[in-house]
C-alpha cells in the first residue's frame, strides 16, 4: 500500500458524511438519527456530518420498507452518491418489511435493488447502535470492502 492510499484509507474512516433517506417508513428511525448529532451522543466526534446533498455524502442511511412510490427516488439518490459509497440500512423495515410486510404497496427488502453493507437492527434502533453502524460502514470504506468498491453493486 503506497502512502497516499494509506492516508486515503484513514481519511475515509475518519470522515464519514451521511445522507439520510426515508423510503416510506414511519419516521421513527429518522427521529432516532437526530439525537446522534446532539450533545448527548455527538457523532461529529468521529467526523460524521449530515449532508443535505447526496453528492456530498459517503454513507447512505436508509430507513423504511421501500414502498413502490419511493422506489425510483431511492435508486436515483443511490446512483447520485459518488463512489466509493456505503449503505447502512436502519431498523427492521429495510430488512424484512417489519409491520408493513406483505403489504401490496411495499417493494422490499431493500437489498433486492441496492447492496446493503451494514444492517442495524431495532425498531427503532438506539442512537448508540446507529453511530456504531456508521463507524462500521466507515471502516468498510477504509478497507475497500463495501459492495460498491468490490463491484458487486448492480447497475440500476
Partner 1 sequence: MLSELWQYAFAVLVWPGILGAGALGFLYLWVARKLMARLQGRKGPPFYQPFFDFIKLLGKQTVVPNGANRRLFYALPFMSLAATALGLLIIPVPGGAVGSFPGDVVLLLYLLEVPVLCDVMAGYVSQSIYGQVSAMREAVMSLGYNVPFLAAVIAMAQKAGSFRLGDLQAAPAGAVTALAAIAFLLALPARLKSNPFSIPNAEQEIVAGAHIEYNSAPLATFELSHALELVLLFDAFFVLFMPRLGESIANAALYLAVSLGLAALATLTAALTARLTVKRAFRFYWLWGGLVAGAAIVLAVVG
| Residues near 42 by beta carbon (within 8 Å), at least 6 away in sequence | none
In degrees rounded to 5, what are phi and psi of residue 62? -120, 130
Contacting residue, 44, 68, 69, 76, with partner 1 by CB under 8 A? 44
By CB under 8 A, residue 39 contacts partner 1: yes
**Residue pointed to by grid coordinates 494509506:** 6
User: What is the maximal distance between C-alpha atoms in the chain?
Assistant: 52
Stretch that binds partner 1, among 20-28, 38-46, 100-108, 117-125 (CB under 8 A): 38-46
By CB under 8 A, residue 82 contacts partner 1: yes
> Which grid cell sits at 83?
463512489
CB of 88 to partner 1, least distance (A): 17
By CB under 8 A, residue 136 contacts partner 1: no
Q: How many Cα atoms occupy the beta-carbon half-sphere of 9 within 13 Å?
A: 14
Query: 141 and 15 in contact (C-beta within 8 Å)?
Result: no
By CB under 8 A, residue 115 contacts partner 1: no
Interface residues with partner 1 (CB under 8 A) are 7-8, 10-12, 14-15, 17, 38-39, 42, 44-45, 47, 49, 51-53, 55-56, 58, 80, 82-84
Amino acid at each position: 500500500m503506497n502512502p497516499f492510499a494509506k492516508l486515503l484509507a484513514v481519511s475515509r474512516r475518519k470522515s464519514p458524511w451521511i445522507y439520510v433517506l426515508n423510503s416510506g417508513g414511519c419516521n421513527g428511525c429518522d427521529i432516532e438519527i437526530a439525537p446522534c448529532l446532539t450533545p448527548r451522543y455527538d457523532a461529529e466526534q468521529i467526523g460524521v456530518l449530515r449532508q443535505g446533498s447526496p453528492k456530498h455524502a459517503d454513507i447512505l442511511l436508509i430507513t423504511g420498507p421501500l414502498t413502490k412510490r419511493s422506489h425510483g427516488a431511492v435508486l436515483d439518490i443511490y446512483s447520485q452518491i459518488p463512489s466509493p459509497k456505503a449503505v447502512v440500512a436502519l431498523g427492521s423495515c429495510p430488512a424484512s418489511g417489519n409491520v408493513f410486510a406483505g403489504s401490496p404497496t411495499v417493494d422490499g427488502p431493500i437489498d433486492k435493488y441496492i447492496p446493503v453493507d451494514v444492517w442495524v437492527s431495532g425498531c427503532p434502533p438506539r442512537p448508540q447502535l446507529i453511530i456504531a453502524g456508521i463507524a462500521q460502514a466507515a471502516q468498510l470504506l477504509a478497507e475497500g470492502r463495501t459492495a460498491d468498491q468490490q463491484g458487486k453493486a448492480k447497475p440500476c
